[in-house]
Each structure stands twice: as C-alpha cells, then as structure tokens.
Amino acid sequence: MFTFEWTEILDLYEMLATLAYWIIMLVLAGVCMLLFEWITPYNDREELLKGNVAVGIQFAGKLIGIGIITKASIAHNVSIWGASIWVFIGFFLMIISYFLFELITPFKVEQEIKKNNIAVAIVAASLSIFIGFAVAGSIT
C-alpha cells in the first residue's frame, strides 16, 4: 500500500513563498495593466463595459504576455525581487514593441481598436503574446 507524509508534498516554507509570489505578482500585473491603460488614448474599462470586443482581445493579449513573462521571471530568479525587476523589464519591452507596431502600420492601431476592429486587435494581442514569449525565452 502507498503511504506518504504530507510534509513530503506540502512544505510550509514553499506554501508561504508561493503565497508571497502570488500576492506580489498579482500586484505587479495590476500595476502593468494600469500603466497600459494609462498609455492608451481611451479608457479600457469603459470600452470593456460598452462591449468593445477588440479592446477585450487586446487587453487579454497584454495580460497573457505579462503572465508569460511573470512565469519565466519566477522560474529563473532566486528572489522575488529579481523576478519583479524582470517583470518590469518585460513590461517595458512590451510597451516599446507596441509603439513600434503603431509606427510601422499604415493606420492608427489604437483608433482601430477603439472602433472595435477585431482583426487589428487580434494582431495587437498576438504581438503582446509574442513579446511575452520572446522576453521569457531570454530570461536566464
């Protein structure tokens, strides 16, 4: 018969560390999303409440991208502070990439997303996810 000790599975230190990472990374994700909202020419929350699907898609892409960066930051850093710094570095790179995307397109990405252009929102969300993977892959 299989027997085990709970201490082999659940360690108090690991549980507390997980709780600390969870709290701090949620706060960082919230700060990043608020900063993203601040740089857009419209209010993401208002547009979401209006049912603007394009804004929802773009917002989800940003959140997924930050999540990918967060996962890699935690996995490849020995401290919560090192992980936090890498989340912000990744966030900064996402912003730069987004502005470059806005510069190279023959239209205004933000205006199209506010007009509920889902095609543009999918490309913008994909860019955020791509940057998330690219940054995550570079964190060692």
| 5: in domain | no
| 4: in domain | no
SS3 40: coil
CB atoms within 10 A of CB 137: 10
| 7: in domain | no
Residue 47 lies in domain: 18-138
Percent of the chain with pLDDT over 90: 76
Residue 13, pLDDT score:
86
| 9: in domain | no
How many helices (H) and strands (E) the chain has is answered by 7, 0
In total, how many domains does the chain have? 1
Residue 68 CA to residue 45 CA, distance in Å, equals 23
pLDDT tens for 88-115 read 999 999 999 989 999 999 999 999 999 9
Residue 36 CA to residue 63 CA, distance in Å, equals 10
| 28: in domain | yes
Residue 14, pLDDT score:
86
| 11: in domain | no
pTM of the model: 0.86
| 3: in domain | no
